[in-house]
Amino acid sequence: MKTLLIIALIMSGIPSMKTEGADRPAGNPKSTRSVVMAPHGIVATSHTLAAQVGIDILKKGGNAVDAAIAANAVIGATEPMSCGIGGDLFAIVWNAKDQKLYGLNASGRSPYATSINYFKSRGLKEIPIKGPLSWSVPGCVSGWEALKTRFGTMEFKTLLQPAIDYCEQGFPVTEIIGSGWKGSEILLRQTPNAAKTYLKNGRAPEIGEMMTNLYLARTYRSIAKQGARVFYSGSIADEIVEYSRKTGGLFSKKDFSDHTASWIDPVSTSYRGYDVWELPPNGQGIAALQILNLLEPYDISAMGHNSPEFLHRFIEAKKLAFADRAKFYTDPEVEKNLPIAELISKAYADERRKLIDLKKAARVVPAGDPILSHGDTIYMTVVDKDRNAVSLIQSVYYGWGSGHVPGNLGFMLQNRGCLFALDPNHLNALKPHKRPFHTIIPAMVTKDNEAWLSFGVMGGDMQPQGHVQVLMNMIDHGMNVQEAGDAARVRHFGSDSPTGSIMSDGGEVQIESGIDPEVKNALESMGHTVRYSKGAFGGYQAIRIDREQGILHGGSDPRKDGAAIGY
């Protein structure tokens, strides 16, 4: 009897198995894990080793920017198909001292020697996705330098040492990353430098196997000693340009010596009392702002999460924003007077919203007149004890970028240049020394003029769609920072493209397995082409700042290998 009483007392504190969500540790049916909560700092990345390195930097007295650079360097080694110093970087920084947001565009430009005629003379109607003709100058290292110089407190020697150690001593290949690595063996065998850098005896490393990259370690040591100048005007630039000369690329030393990262002002719109911040073009961040403006008048919370009524409106709003994206998003340093303020205005959204048929999917969506009278990426975010926040995204674009490792440098060169249009009348038309349209976008949310959420969702065209979905999960549906990223997502494919392709059939809606089949049927009855995806959409990381309690809340996407780690 005494034993039965003890069991009864223990069981009285356990939810009944009939209770919704009882199979979750926190009794939450919408979340795969609990929110990470910490008072002093959180680092959220797609790789746990990188997140831990960021925490180590914070514990040594570094700030959020220091931790972000160190973590990014580690991911460049451990997740090389997605990112690395052969790619570009964008960031939004909340500086707690002056209570201000700063935007950084560290994307590179096309070679001076390129032109539309160059491609047309070779019978090419679009820029190849792989190979030397897809290259633009890598901007990542200039981004690190700009961040460190303006806000950092530590030198590259300290920040890059953990990544150097993993490159030399080895790191275990994690599950999702390892699966992608295994599927890329054929690509990596196509060029000798890629094979010797990323294959072991002609094969991809196995999940759980240790992998090294001694070439990248040597490159990181050069940057640690000499800074960004070695990459853009020193021996690293020399090696890249020489490799370009041998393989049919168009790079010159001037392309590298003339490269600069740019500090820019983030832009925003309000959504139900929150100010949502993105970077202006050449990125696609303002598409998220346009979608939010289009959807704000609807009672989203009353429609229910992932209901047919909501998803139909969301998909149609996405089509409208992406029609404008295809026409107006380009490099504002080259194409002047872009109507950015008009595109993200409430008045423009009011006009465009009239095109949404609440019962029928649109097959063709024209761009508006705003003058009113398969990509791989990593995203990370860090918040420190002083509540400085960094929202940082970095990528080589497609998986393994261009497929080319220059010389013995140990990193892939990006293929971001394939996103130029070869139509000379297009705003995103290829020109010498011009930044291409970009998909990678960091984001931040402020409330009452204080940083409230630093977040991002990686994944090519999915990124603005993901930004909107996770924000509405939190703001309209009251989800916590982990639930908001765990919840099932949808992704619309087939909108007009910044490279010139046009949607003519309404595109296709892909949905994750968490979406009810009845919702799929309802969307199809409205004219949408819908199918369940074989994979997952995006990779989310986020940190919410609870100023009332003095606590940070971190969330990390189960669709990736990473985690939010706090201290």
Looking up tokens 């979340």 gives 31
CA 13 to chain CA mean position, Å: 41
Question: Can you tell me the distance from the alpha carbon of 432 to that of 449, in angstroms, rounded to the nearest whole number?
Answer: 40
Residues 6 or more apart in contact with residue 260 via CB below 8 angstroms: 142
Degrees to nearest 5, angle at CA 216 with 211 and 219: 160
Q: Can 377 be counted among the known catalytic residues?
A: yes
105 has which bridge partners? 90, 262
What's the CA dihedral at 181, 186, 188, 190 to 10 degrees?
-170
Question: Can you tell me the distance from the alpha carbon of 452 to that of 444, in angstroms, rounded to the nearest whole number?
Answer: 8
Question: Can you tell me the distance from the alpha carbon of 567 to that of 67, in angstroms, rounded to the nearest whole number?
Answer: 13
Side chain identity, residue 213: N
DSSP output for 352-393? HHTT--TTS--S------------EEEEEEEE-TT--EEEEE
Side chain identity, residue 388: N
Question: Can you tell me the distance from the alpha carbon of 368 to that of 324, in angstroms, rounded to the nearest whole number?
Answer: 6
Residue positions counted in the chain: 567
User: What does the longest C-alpha to C-alpha distance in the chain come to?
Assistant: 90
Sign of the dihedral defined by the CA atoms of residues 174, 180, 185, 191, in that order? negative
- Integer CA distances (angstroms), 375 to 241, 310, 357, 439, in order: 25, 27, 31, 8
SS in 3 state form for 15-72? Answer: CCCCCCCCCCCCCCCCCCCCCEEECCCEEEECCHHHHHHHHHHHHCCCCHHHHHHHHH
Catalytic residue among 78, 197, 377, 439: 377
Question: Can you tell me the distance from the alpha carbon of 79 to that of 72, in angstroms, rounded to the nearest whole number?
Answer: 10
Backbone phi, psi, residue 540, to 5°: -100, 140
Phi-psi region of 444 (alpha: psi -120 to 50; beta: other; left: phi over 0): beta
Catalogue the active-site residues. Answer: 377
